[in-house]
Amino acid sequence: MPTASTALSKRFAHRLALAIDADCITYRDFVPWADKIIARHERPPLWLCELATTKYKPYALRAVIESVLSDPPEEFPDDHGEFLGFLWIRHERRELSWATFLKEAGKYTDAKNGPLECEYFYGMLNELEEQDFSLEAERRQRAVVNSALEKAIDSAREVYDEIRNNG
């Protein structure tokens, strides 16, 4: 679990932006979290104060991303797997059907260079459609994707749990 100082790091903010962008974390989650973190600090960062006062996703993303891009610059490891982890959490919460998860993962990876390409997800979606959305095909595919994304899902879950448990 991130500490209060880790939760204010650019790395954590970067991961939080991914969660917000993936719609895994919404204002219902980040506003109470930000309020709690702010209460612990005499001089909380401006981005956190902005986050605590907005419900509008683009404003929340802007506040967090501006913090991440501020000086001094930092490099972060490839994160596209973590974004997929946030989509996986949404699927686990039953927000996304399996077909929608595959479609969204395919769209996201289409623009990224990572270990899993868009064809990986679109191929599974095609197979699922060809099998009339069979529960057996879904179960088999879920096991394969869960294994491929295990580290990314665990990493995304750290951020998700931190925010959902209000720090």
The reply to whether 39 and 86 lie within a common domain is no
Mean pLDDT of the chain, nearest integer: 91
Q: Residue 30: inside a domain, yes or no?
A: yes
Q: Residue 52: inside a domain, yes or no?
A: yes
> Look-up: residue for tokens 């790091």?
9
Q: Which domain holds residue 133?
A: 80-155
The reply to whether 23 and 53 lie within a common domain is yes
Q: Residue 161: inside a domain, yes or no?
A: no
> How big, in percent rounded to 5, are the helix, strand and coil portions of the chain?
70, 0, 30
Q: At residue 32, does pLDDT exceed 70?
A: yes
pLDDT in tens, 33-72: 999 999 999 999 999 999 999 999 999 999 999 999 988 8
Residue 94 zone, left/alpha/beta (φ > 0; ψ -120 to 50; rest): left
CA distance linking residue 129 with residue 138, whole number of Å? 10
pTM of the model: 0.90
CA distance linking residue 77 with residue 80, whole number of Å? 9
C-beta atoms surrounding 36 within 10 Å: 15
pLDDT in tens, 118-143: 999 999 999 999 999 999 999 999 99
C-beta atoms surrounding 114 within 10 Å: 16
Q: Residue 69: inside a domain, yes or no?
A: yes
CA distance linking residue 47 with residue 72, whole number of Å? 15
